[in-house]
Copies of this chain bind each other. A is one copy, B any other.
C-alpha cells in the first residue's frame, strides 16, 4: 500500500501528486457536481495527471470512496456535548451521525460499505454501546442494539436520498404514484384511506420519532 506519510528510504522519482491531493480533489468534484461525476479519468485531468497515476496512491475507486467518507467524517463530525442520561445520550449520538450523513447525499454509495467505521465515527458508536450497557444490556445485546440503530439510520438515509434523486430526475408521475392511483379500496382499505396523504406524510422527517421508538423498545426489558 502506498504510504505517503512514511519516511522515504529509497530514492526514486519524486512524487508529483499525493494521496491527500487525490482525496481533496475528489472531494471538490463530488461537492461541486455529485458523486456520479467522480471518475478516475475526470479526477486525473482535474489533478493534471493521468488515470494511472492515481493507482499509485489509491488501490482502486472503492478505496477512494472510503477515503472520501473518512475525510468527510473527520472534517464534519465534531464531538458534541452529549446528555448524561444514557437513553438520551444514545438518541443524541445516533441523531448526530444521522445528521452528518443526511447532509452529504453522495454517501449512499459508500455507506453500505461496511459499518460506518470511519475512525472519527467510532466515538459515537462507543457512546451508543456504552449507553445501552449502562441501561442494563449485556455487551452482546448492546452490540446488537447498536446494529439495529445503524440499520434504521442507514435505511432512512438510503431511502430518503434515492427518493430525492428520483424526484429531480424527471417530473412524470413516479411508479409509486401510479400504483397508488389505481388502488382497490375494497382490497386495501387502509392504504386507500391514506393514499392522497401518502406523499406528504412520507416526506416528513420522522427519523427522531422512529429512533426514540426503537431505543425505547430496545431498553424495554430493562
Task: List which A173-206 residues lie within 8 A (CB) of chain B.
Answer: 174-176, 179-180, 183, 187-191, 193-194, 197-198, 201-202, 204, 206
State in angstroms the CA–CA spacing of A204 and B114 once bound together: 15
Number of chain A residues close to chain B: CB under 8 A: 66
Contact of A159 among B112, B126, B179, B210 (CB under 8 A): B112
Q: Are A113 and B162 in contact (CB under 8 A)?
A: yes
Contact of A144 among B147, B163, B183, B201 (CB under 8 A): B201
Q: Are A151 and B210 in contact (CB under 8 A)?
A: yes
**A215 sits at the interface (CB 8 A):** yes
State in angstroms the CA–CA spacing of A166 and B117 once bound together: 14
Contact of A198 among B113, B143, B145, B201 (CB under 8 A): B143
**A140 sits at the interface (CB 8 A):** yes
Return chain B residues, CB-CB under 8 Å to A155. Answer: 150-156, 158
Return chain B residues, CB-CB under 8 Å to A52. Answer: none
- Chain A facing B: main interface SS: helix
**A32 sits at the interface (CB 8 A):** no
0/1 per residue, A83-119, Cβ < 8 Å to B? 0000000000000000000000000100111110101
**A33 sits at the interface (CB 8 A):** no
State in angstroms the CA–CA spacing of A204 and B143 once bound together: 11
Knowing A125-B191, A158-B154, A190-B130 are in contact, say whether A214-B148 is a contact too (CB < 8 A): yes
Return chain B residues, CB-CB under 8 Å to A217. Answer: 212-218, 220
**A133 sits at the interface (CB 8 A):** yes
Residue of B nearest to A220 (CB): B216
From A143, A183, A197, A198, residue with most partner B Cβ within 10 Å: A143
Residue of B nearest to A207 (CB): B151
**A129 sits at the interface (CB 8 A):** yes
Contact of A209 among B122, B129, B144, B158 (CB under 8 A): B144
Contact of A156 among B66, B108, B151 (CB under 8 A): B151
Return chain B residues, CB-CB under 8 Å to A26. Answer: none
Q: Are A112 and B108 in contact (CB under 8 A)?
A: yes
Across the A-B interface, give the 4 residue pairs with the lowest CB-CB distance, nearest first.
A155-B155, A217-B217, A213-B217, A148-B210
